[in-house]
Each structure stands twice: as structure tokens, then as C-alpha cells.
Amino acid sequence: MSLNLLGLNRGQFEALCADMGEKPFRARQMMRWMHQAGVSEFDLMTDVSKGFREQIGASATIAAPAVLRDTTAPDGTRKWLFDVGTGNAIEAVYIPEGDIDDESVAEGVPVRRYRGTLCVSSQAGCALECSFCATGRQGFNRNLGTAEIIGQLWHASRSLSADLGVERPITNVVMMGMGEPLANFDNVVAAMQLMLDDHAYGISRRRLTLSTSGLVPAIDRLRDACPVALAVSLHAPNDSLRDQLVPINRKYPIRELLAACLRYIEKAPRDFVTFEYVLLAGVNDSVALARELVKTVKPVPCKINLIPFNPFPDSGYARSAAPAVAAFRDVLLQAGLTATVRKTRGDTIDAACGQLAGKVRDKTRRVLRRMEENRA
């Protein structure tokens, strides 16, 4: 099998070039061609010697996972379904904000202002089984490799640049797609280091966010290996409720999770952690629980991102009504916390938060087990 160059960080690429008798700068040249120009054909890398292009082309390739489906919602949200082999498919979502045709003038030069966020998957399925998440309901097959993670960004950037006429259409990346990123630690960190590299995507640490359900030891590892903006899927103010919604809480309860967040902030690019809180009607959206949440998160500098639940088949949950969302938010604001309500995007194509499902051959046999339990 050919080596997929999308999975190499700068150090690995430089070592490969050295093995082939080339200087380290060749790696940087080729990284810019691949990641910034979206080039997949070695012959198009015109400032790289023909001999080296032929040499590396004989043993390596530049390839993202194949696209099975490409869907765009009326609000501009775009979702790709990628084939990652052996019957598995994963999803990535692009969320535009602002009009890319709007121009402002800075020092007499027209500047296009917009924000384009790509939500990237890290696993085929997820083993954590959060009860309100479509990915968690379907089971787990495997971790994605670094090239498969980067391949989502590479393909999306290349496609959007061509379609929108924007040189760098993706300004932000969130590791919030299918899977628990910290359960695939090495590959995710390697991919994020490429995203940060100025010779690749040049995304700032503040604009690269990793979302975790709360794997405490891995949060500490991330703090030392690759500190980026951190989002934590909290969803409940106490252990008894969070145990039901986010089962990993039984292993790493809220007190341990918050302590890890405080340690993380010491090296984080932002001086706060974002707590994500999906609002489920009649489950975790009462004013009383909002008041309890204030007390729970008070020790941690944070922002609360309230997310109205996005339905999926047989979820067993309903979205909180708008008045309940507003009342919950107001309790947080009145207590002096920063709290926002996430606007639902892409729900018409099942691309909203919690709706990503892809297609997974379930190694955990979770779907089969649930079917047997329902029959019983």
C-alpha cells in the first residue's frame, strides 16, 4: 500500500525527504502544495525537481477518503459522507457564517469577512454511548488514521475554494464530529499539529477546538502535547444525571473533570473552557438545574454553550421549548456567567450537533444488543 502523504507531519515529511536524499525544504514545499493549494498530482508541483517528483510518486500518494455523498442545506451548511473502508462511512460538516461577498475597506484594500467552521470526525462511530447523540447510538468500529482525519479538511478546503472562490474558506476547525477525539489521542494530536502548521493550514490554536466527553487523563496529556481550545460536553450539573446522559462520568465524575479543566487552562490558548450543554425537554432544562449548574461550574473560568437538542430517529428525547431555553440561559446570565444559545444549523440534512451518524459496522454490537433488549 502506498504511503499517504496527508498523514505526515513536518518532521516525518522531512525525514522521508532525507531518506530520499533531499533537503528538508522539499518537505515544506510539498506540504504547501498539498495542504494550501490542494494539489494531489506530483506533476503540478512545479518548483519541485522532476526527479524527486517521480521518485516520491512511485511510492506515495495524496488521497482523501472517497466522497459518497455531498449535501448542502438551505442555510449553506454542507455535509460530506466519506467512505473509510470495510463498510464504514464518516461525516464532516462545514458551517459558514457571514456573507463571503460582503466587503469592508481596510487601508483602501477590500477585505472579505466571513467565518467558515469545519466539524471533523475522529472515529468511525463512538464507544462512549452518550444517550442523546446519534453517533453514540450506532456503536463503534475503529479509530481514524491521521490521513483520514486530515483528508476531511483537505477535501473540504479544496472543494470550497473551487466553489466559493475563496482562497482559505475554512477559518476554524472543531474536533466535534463522529467519535471521541481523546479516545484516538495519537492520531488526533498528529492531525491537529498539521492543522496548526504554517506550511499546512496555519490555523491558530484559538481557532482549533477539541470537544471531549471528559476523558480526564487524556485532557492532561493534551495539555502537554498540543493545547488547543477545549470544549467539554457537560450536559448536567450533577453526577447522578450526568451518569445517565454521559456514561463516561461513572469513571471520571464531575469533580475530577473540573479539576482537569483547571489544570488545562494553565497552558490553553484561551483563559476559559467551553462547557457544552444540550437541552433536553423535561430532563436537564429546569430552572432549578440551571441554578445548580451555576454552583457546579463556578470554580472554573468558563463559557456555557447551550445547545437545543437536535432530534434523530428513536432518540427518546425532545427539544426544549424556546421559553425553557431562555429561562435556563437567563439564570446563567444573571449569575454572571457567559452563556450563549447555539443556533441550529444544518438540521434539514442531519448535519446539526448530535445528528452525525455516517455508517458504521458496529464492533461493540451495541445496535444488536439494543434490538434484543427491545424484543425482550
What is the three-class DSSP state of 9?
coil
CB contact at 8 A, 44 and 59? no
Rg of the chain taking only CA atoms, in angstroms: 22
- d(CA 130, CA 366) in angstroms, rounded, equals 12
Cβ of 169: how many Cβ atoms within 10 Å?
A: 21
CB contact at 8 A, 28 and 199? yes
- d(CA 49, CA 78) in angstroms, rounded, equals 38
Alpha-carbon distance values, 141 to 31, 123, 214, 248 (Å): 30, 8, 20, 18
Task: Please give the positions annotated as active site.
Answer: 91, 353
CA 30 vs. chain centroid, Å, equals 26
Largest Cα span, the chain: 71
- d(CA 257, CA 270) in angstroms, rounded, equals 18
Instruction: For residue 295, give the C-alpha cell.
Output: 454552583
Q: How many residues does this entry show for the chain?
A: 376
Alpha-carbon distance values, 217 to 46, 191, 194, 264 (Å): 46, 20, 23, 11
CB contact at 8 A, 16 and 59? no
* 184 residue type, one letter: N
Cβ of 180: how many Cβ atoms within 10 Å?
A: 27
